[in-house]
Chain A
Amino acid sequence: MPTGSGWLSPAGSGRSLPGRGLLLLTVLVLLEGTVFRLGAASTPDVSGHDTKDHHKATAIGHNSTKKAFPVLDLDYGHIQTPFEISLWVLLASLMKLGFHLIPRLSGIVPESCLLIVVGLLVGGLIKIAGEKVPPVLDSRLFFLCLLPPIILDAGYFLPIRPFMENLGTILIFAVVGTLWNAFFIGGLLYAVCQIQTGNSSELNGLGLLPCLLFGSIISAVDPVAVLAVFEEIHINELLHILVFGESLLNDAVTVVLYHLFEEYSGVGTVTVMDGFLGIISFLVVALGGVLVGAIYGILAAFTSRFTSHTRVIEPLFVFVYSYIAYLSAEMFHLSGIMALIACGAVMRPYVEANISHKSHTTIKYFLKMWSSVSETLIFIFLGVATVDGPHFWNWTFVTVTVILCLVARVIGVVGLTYIINKFRIVKLTTKDQFIIAYGGLRGAIAFSLGFLLKEDHFPERNMFLTAIITVIFFTVFVQGMTIKPLVELLAVKKKQEAKRSINEEIHTQFLDHLLTGIEDICGHYGHHHWKDKLNRFNKKYVKKCLIAGERSKEPQLIAFYHKMEMKQAIQLVESGGGVKMPSAMPSTVSMQNIQPKKLPPPKTVERALPQLPKGREEEIRKILRSNLQRTRQRLHSYNRHTLVADPYEDGFDKFILKKQKIIELENKIKEMNNYLTVPAAPTDSPTMSRARLASDPQAFSVKPDSDSVPIIQVDLASPQSPDTVNVMDEFRRADQEENQGLMMRCPRGPSEPKKSEDTEGARDQQKLMRCLSDPGPSADEDEDEPFLP
C-alpha cells in the first residue's frame, strides 16, 4: 500500500549511487536464485520420488547392508509448499523495496505496472529454465487468500461519511453501470461474431450466452487496480470514493451475472423467468452479503467488549471474524466482498472504542501489511500467469473487446451522470465524469473469473483469457500511467492534506444539528432527520451493548477531542520533549492570550516555578523532561491539557473516570447546604499536586509532601477556584471511602491511596516506555471518523 511506500522513499533517496547499485545487484542475484528454486519447485514429483526411494533404500538397507549415518541430508519435499510460498512473498517484498530505490521510476510508472513487468520476467525466466510455471493465479488461492486482506483493509478504513453521502450515486454506477457495460459489450461482441462469418471460424461458434458471460466478466471495475492507481494520484475525496465505492459494490452484480450466464450457457437459452429470478437473486446476494457481514461485525464488537483483560489477542478477533464473514458469504454464493465491507464498517466504531491503543495500531499495521503484500503478489502473479496461460490470440476479438470496453464505459458514465445530476446537490462536472470514466480499471478479479471457466463447457476459454489479459494490461498500463499527468493537466481538485481541526469538528456537529432542526421546523423528513434518528438509536441502545464501560456514554465531540489530545501527547514525546516545538503549532499564542482579563490572571500560578531555587529547578526540569512533561518555557501552549492527561490509555481512562467523579462530587457539594465553608488551600497544596501527579509516571520519586513540587496546570479556566481545591479534599476522602472505586488495581486496601498509586505509577511508566517505543500510527485522518459522523 502506498502509505508504506511513502514511508520508505525518504530513506531510499538518501543513499548514494554505488550503494543503490549494490543493493539492486543483490536483489537481482536473489531474484535469480529464487526463480530457479521456484522453477525447480514446480516439479514436486521428482523430488518427492527421490526422497521416497531414499527412504525405501535406507529401510531395505537396514536389513541388508548398513549404510553410513547421514550427517547432512537434503529433504526438499518435506518443506516444499511453505518454502515456495515464503519465497514468493519474499520476492514480492524485495521488489517493493527495490522500486523505491529508483525514485524517478516510481514517480512516472505506477507500482502495479512495474510489478506486472516483474511477474512477466519471473514467468519468462521460469519458462526459459525449462520448468513448468506453477498455476499461481489459481482461483481458489486468489479468492480465498489474496483478495480478502485487501478488501478488509478497504472496508475497515472506509470513510463512512462521504460513502454514505454519495451512496445513491455509487449504487447507480455500480449496479446500472455494470449491467449496461455487460450487456453492451456482450451484445456487440455477439453482433461482431455474427458478422465475421467468412474469415475466422472460431468466432462463428460463439453463442450469445458465452458472449454475455464474457461481457459480465470484463465489465466489472476492479477494486485492487483502482486502489493501486488512485492511491498514488491523491485525487479529491469525492471522486475517490465514487470510483472506489463503485468497484466494491459491483461485486454483487458480477456474481449474479456470472452465475446466471454460466449456468445457462450449457442449456443455451435464458427465459424471462430466469431473468426475473436473476433480479431476485441479485437482491438476495447483495443484501444477504451485507447482512452476513453486519451480523459478524456486531459479534466482533460484542466480543471486543470483554477483552479488557486479554489485550494481546484483540486484533485477532477483528481478523478472524471478518474472514469468517467472508467465507460464510462465499459459502452461500452471496457477495463476499460486500460482507467483508459491511463487517469492517459496522464493527469499527465499537471495536475502536473498546480496544487498547496498541491493538488499534496492530490492527492498522497488520491490515496495511497484508493488503500491501497481497496486492504486490496479485500483480506479480498476473505477470506470471500471462506468460504461462494458454493463449489464443484473435485480432478481431481482442481489439473489438478493448474498444468496446472503453466506449461502453464512457457512454455509461456520461449517461448515468446526466440522470444522477438531477438528484444531486453537488453536481458532477465534465472533469469529474472524465476521471470516473478513465478510472474504470480492470484487474485480477476479471482474470480469476475467466480462469474459473471450465474448458469443456467453454471451448473459447483461451480466447477469453487472452482478451481479458489484454484489457487488463491496457487499462493498467495505459490508463494507469497516463491518469496522473491527466489529473495534473485537467487541474482536478486534489485531496486536501489539512488535518481535521477541532473547529471544523465542532462546526460539523453544529451544522448537523442545525440542519436537522431546520428540517424539523419544515416538517420535512429529510436526509438529516433520519441520520439524526439513527444516531440517537445508536447512542441509546446499540452503544450500551457493544461498548464496554464508561466510554459508551462518551459523545462524539469529546471522543474526537480525546483522540486529538492523545495524538498531541504522542507527538510531543516523539519530538523529544526538548527544545523543538511541535510543527503543528508554530505560534507563540498560548492559553493566557485568550483568557478574558476579568478572571484572576493565571500569572501568579504559572510564575510559581521561577520562585524555586535554581538547583531545584534543574532537578525538576530533568524530572519533567524525562517524564514527558514540557519544560518551563513550553508550559504555555495548547498541550497543557494533555500534559496531565495520561498519554497511555489505561491511566487515561482512569483519569476520565476521575474527572467524572470530580464533577459528580461537585454537583453533590452544590446540592449540599451552602454553609460548608470552603477553605481556600494554597495552589501548591500537596493534595492538589498529589492528585494531579498521581497518574503521572515516576510519581514515587517526587516526595509528595515537599513544598517544591512542580505545579502542572490543569484547569486554566479557573486556576484558583475554590471549588477545585475543595473537591480535591472531597476526592481524597471519597478515594478512601469507596472500596475499589478509583483504585488502580492495587492489592492493598484503600487505606494507602498514595502508595498504591505510586507502585501503579512505576508499572505505568514501564508500560509507557513500551508504548512509546512503537513509533505509533501515522496521522491518517481517515480513521478518525466516528460512527455516522
Chain B
Amino acid sequence: MGASQARTEHPYQDLMDKTGCNDMFGSKEDLASIPALDNNPLRKQIITAFFDKRNQHENQVGFFEEIGFEQFVMVMSHFRAPTLKTSEEEREVMRKEKLRFLFNMHDTDNDGTITLEEYRKVVEELLSKSGALGLEAAKAIADAAMLEVASTNVPHMAPDDFYEGITFEHFEQILKGLEMETRMHIRFLDVDTTTMRCGKTTS
C-alpha cells in the first residue's frame, strides 16, 4: 500500500499547500459541514467510511475520532482506476479492495456478514430522499435482493434453513457483473486544482 500512497500523496501535497485546507481533516463534524453533501442520501455512510479503521488495511476495527492526511488518502486510494499497464492479477486485487470497501460500508456491526436488517438499512438510506413511499418499498426491495443473493449462492436450502447474511464471497459473486475496478473510480489524479475548493464551497 505504500507505493499507492506515494503516488496519490504528491498531488494532494501540492493541493493542500495551494488551497491551504490543512485543517480540513479532523472530526466528523468537519466533514459533515461540507454543504455539497447535504443532498446526498448516503451522507452519513460516506463520512463514517472515512473514519472506519477497517478501511486503513491495518487489521484494526473500530472508529477513529479524528483522521489525518494519511488516513484520508488511504480511503481515497480505494478509488483509483486501473491503467493499461495493470495486469490481470492486479486488477483482481483492486476489485477485491473496492468490493471490501463497499462491504465495510454495508456491514456496520463488523460481524463479517450483511444481515437482512443491515441491507434494509442500506436500501432505506438510498431511498431516504424519496418520501414516505420509499420506506415500504425499501423493505420489499431489500427482501427481494436478499432472496436473490441467497438463491444464486445457496440454491438448495431446505425450508428450515436460515440464511444468516451475505458473506464477502457471496457479495463478490453477485456483483461480478458490475466490473468494479472500472466503475468505482474518480479522476482525482487529473484534478484541476483551480476548481478545487476542498469542500468549502459556498454553493
Contacts and interface: CB of A to CB of B under 8 A. Distances in A.
Interface of A: 421, 425-427, 429, 496, 498, 501-504, 506-511, 513-529, 532, 536, 553-555, 557-558, 561, 564, 585-597, 636, 638, 641, 656, 659-660, 662-664, 667, 715-717
B163 A514 contact: no
Contacts of B167: none
B175 A558 contact: no
B132 interface: yes
B34 A503 contact: no
A507 B175 contact: yes
Majority secondary structure of chain A interface residues (helix, strand, loop or mixed): helix
B168 interface: no
Contacts of A506: 122-123, 126, 141, 145
24 contacts: A421-B84, A426-B182, A427-B84, A501-B148, A503-B145, A503-B149, A504-B177, A507-B102, A510-B42, A511-B184, A515-B79, A517-B43, A523-B201, A527-B187, A553-B130, A553-B131, A558-B127, A561-B137, A585-B151, A591-B147, A593-B161, A660-B132, A663-B132, A663-B135
Given A517-B43, A519-B186, A596-B116, A641 B144 contact: yes
B200 A513 contact: no
Nearest to A554: B133
A520 B34 contact: yes
Contacts of B81: 425
A504 B131 CA distance: 23
A514 B37 CA distance: 10
Given A425-B185, A503-B174, A589 B154 contact: yes
A717 B136 CA distance: 10
B71 to A, nearest CB: 13
Residue among A509, A520, A521 with the highest chain B CB neighbour number at 10 A: A521
Q: Size band of the B side of the interface?
A: 35 or more
A520 B151 contact: no
A523 B199 contact: yes
Contacts of A498: 177
**The 7 nearest A-B residue pairs measured at CB:** A587-B155, A520-B36, A587-B151, A555-B130, A517-B46, A523-B197, A589-B151
Contacts of A596: 115-117
Contact of B156 (A421, A516, A588, A641): A588
Given A524-B188, A641-B144, A504 B116 contact: no
Contacts of B151: 585, 587, 589, 638
B139 interface: yes
Given A522-B196, A528-B186, A504 B175 contact: yes
Contacts of B129: 555
A536 B133 CA distance: 18
B31 interface: yes
Contacts of B117: 596
Contacts of B61: none
A506 B142 CA distance: 9
A506 B124 CA distance: 11
Contacts of A593: 150, 157, 159, 161-163
A207 B162 CA distance: 81
B199 A521 contact: yes
B191 interface: yes
Interface string B103-126: 001000000000111000011001
Given A517-B40, A553-B130, A561 B159 contact: no
Contact of B116 (A590, A595, A662): A595
Contacts of B188: 522, 524
B60 interface: no
Contacts of A521: 31, 34, 37, 46, 199
B122 to A, nearest CB: 7
Contacts of A554: 133
A594 B143 contact: yes
Contacts of B199: 520-523
A561 B133 CA distance: 13
Nearest to B76: A518
A517 B42 contact: yes
A555 B177 CA distance: 23
A588 B155 contact: yes
Contacts of A662: 136
B26 interface: no
A139 B150 CA distance: 58
A85 B89 CA distance: 60
Given A638-B144, A717-B139, A523 B200 contact: yes
B6 interface: no
A589 B157 contact: yes
